[in-house]
Structure 1
Amino acid sequence: MEQKGQNGQEQILVGIDVGSTTTKVAVMEVATGKVLFSDYTRHHSDQLQSVSRAVKLVKETLAGRSFLTAMTGSGAKHLSEELRIPYVQEVVANSIALKAMYGEIGTAIELGGQDAKIIFFQRDKRTGELQVADMRMNGSCAGGTGAFVDEIASLLKTPVEEFDALAAQGTTVYDISGRCGVYAKTDIQPLL
């Protein structure tokens, strides 16, 4: 079934995720699920400017076509209220997308800039529908999150994009604290 907007064109959805360190935008056709445009940029603590930039890019990309927009992310709540754009809490947004994209999913882990989230899924015993059974979010430490990974990349003087190849060359696994980013960094520095 084709979904048409008010002007008879394909309905287009725009999602803007304003996280603790980055702003992401995705533009998608509803009927096909085709991603028409996406952008990922660090906002350097200027979330408003990054959202303005994202909206400008979307308008340029869609050149006069109409679209529906929603926002998510740790930095989006206040901005969505100011801009009168619907807001969806980030773990809820992730769970909706994951259920739509993957028919069989048990657990999903998302590492944000300053937090980590885990979502557990299960099938409803009565209906068989995939549903969220539990959601958790770290609350006391940013260890293992994007900000921590960035910090270690800086310490190693290695771009994050090269971590995977660097890890593949490893021959030894060292014990470091897995509970706290500060302790982990304290364990890593003498090993260097």
Structure 2
Amino acid sequence: MRAGLDIGSTTIKGVVMDDSGHIIWSSYERHYSHILEKTEEMLRQIQKTTGNEPIILGFSGSAGMGIAEHAGVPFVQEVYAERISAKKLNPDTDCIIELGGEDAKILFLSGGMEVRMNGSCAGGTGAFIDQMASLLKMKPDEMDEAAQHATRK
């Protein structure tokens, strides 16, 4: 089994996959700057899911490197992980767009690799989307559902 944590600027994501690559557990939640506590909590959830099965564990994300080094766990830079995953899961992928909590990246994969990133403004990122959801008194996933059923007036 394989497990990974992506510890970002605003959220922590976790996944456990069986040996066939099927997802058997996943979680996505805000850490509200309680990064270590949320990491420990998610690791306990992973342990509960995997029991005594040995796992291969890795970390990624802007807040993951220090924790990975401290814990002796391999760290994978997220742009690299995204590129490798896209190549494996959909080899014809030409472009990857990543909206993080505080930045946005676009990866062009054709003809070599090029990465572009917005400045330090949070506009167009997960933080902005969360703010708009709050103003609309919705959860971000509810915004997606509402957009799918929207009509022009």
* Shared fold, TM over 0.5: yes
Q: Provide, for residues 130-161 of structure 1, a one-character-per-residue CA deviation record: whole Å limited to 9, x for no partner.
A: xx521222233111101001111112222222
Q: CA RMSD in A?
A: 1.6
Distance 1:97 1:25 in 2: 16
Question: TM-score normalised to the size of structure 2?
Answer: 0.91
Moved >4 Å (runs of 4+)? none
2:141 aligns with one of 157, 161, 166: 161
Q: Provide, for residues 74-122 of structure 1, a one-character-per-residue CA deviation record: whole Å limited to 9, x for no partner.
A: 1101111111111111111111111111021110101111111111112
Question: TM-score normalised to the size of structure 1?
Answer: 0.74
Matches within 5 A, 1:1-192: 12-30=1-19, 32-122=20-110, 133-167=113-147, 168-171=149-152
- Contact 2:102/2:120 (<8 A) preserved: no
Counterpart AA for 1:135: V
| Relative contact order, higher structure (CA 8 A, sep 6+) | 2
Give the number of aligned pairs: 152
Q: Which structure has the greater CA radius of gyration?
A: 1
Unaligned runs of 5+ in 1: 1-11, 124-131, 173-192
Unaligned runs of 5+ in 2: none
Distance 2:78 2:31 in 1: 18
Shift of 1:166: 3.3
Distance 1:133 1:117 in 2: 13
